[in-house]
Amino acid sequence: MDKKKKWFITKHIIVDSASGFIAGFFIIHPVSVILIGNHNLFSLLSWNLIFSHLFLPMGMYFGILGFFFGLVIGIFHYNIKEKNAILRNLIDEKDTMLRIFSHDLINYIGTSVSFLTLINSGMLKTGISEKLKRIEQSLHNSMELMDHIKTILAVESGKIKPKMKRCEIINIIKKSAVLFEEKAEQKNIHFQFDCKQHKVYLNLDPIIFKNTIINNLLSNAVKFSLPGHPVIIGCYNKGKAILISFRNTGVYIPPEKIKSLFSTRITTSTSGTAGERGSGFGLPLVKKFTNLLNGVITINCIQNPEDKNSGTITVLLKFPGITLKYPDINLHI
């Protein structure tokens, strides 16, 4: 919690506590004197009588009682405000996600309908095969987009629970890379592994790790790499953590755009270096699942001094390591 937020909380609790003390000392106490004493309201209008009754021990008692009541109200008030803010953010995020989803889905379906109308009209004599491929790709993108949205909502609602177990991650990453070799070869891209250990173990859910995190990152690396450049995958120790990196050369991403890449509130769908389309929800999905597996993800892009439009993009995953008790494996994380 930052200092600004701490001061905000403290200020509100102090104000509510002080208000409680004042109400107890200057309002509840005099009223109780009227109710249980022999005085009526008009007899208390004498300043001497007011001060003589106000500073009785009972006045301090009601003041302290009011103070603690105000303290409880202040804490309760802050909790309600914070929960309302969280709820408001969730509603805003869902609303933005729905608008982006609707916009992208309409584009994909609209493209398919346009090509199908053209083909059915009989006006198109050549290039039908190419148009059918475009329709297939648009429908595939629609399915991918819907699947991403469904998965994000499932994570946020707590329906998806990770099944954590000890896994060897280099083998998992290599198996995922095989799935993208064909797409990589079309752009003259190859995967290069830079791992100091032959085997690296983490405690995570292998299905989530492979299907959602690694597959999305490898797909992005191929999609946004310039043709002829390798995608370098690294895996190494840093203290008690394991770092997994994906480094490629692609279009330069300015720092202000990097900040929005993980947000579902801002549409960040960008075409790949060969015109590939994306949903814009891949990285937000990766972030949510990485956090779910107790990891963190960061992105860095260093601009190429010789070509300002290109840069070296590094996506870094950081997971807490585990200590192995197996003598046949030379690795202590």
Joined together, the tokens standing for residue 194 give 């830079």
pTM of the complete model beyond 0.75:
no
Say what the pLDDT of residue 302 is.
93
Closest CA to 193 of 209, 213, 176: 176
Say what the pLDDT of residue 60 is.
61
Say what the pLDDT of residue 104 is.
63
Taking 50 as the pLDDT cut, the residues of the chain under it are: 41-42, 323-333
Q: Is 224 exposed, middle or buried (0-12, 13-18, 19+ CB in 10 A)?
A: buried
5-38 as b/e: b if 16+ CB within 10 A: eeeebeeebeebbebbbebbbbebbbebbeeeee
Q: List the end-to-end C-alpha distance of the chain, in Å, as a whole number.
A: 29
CB contact at 8 A, 222 and 184 = yes
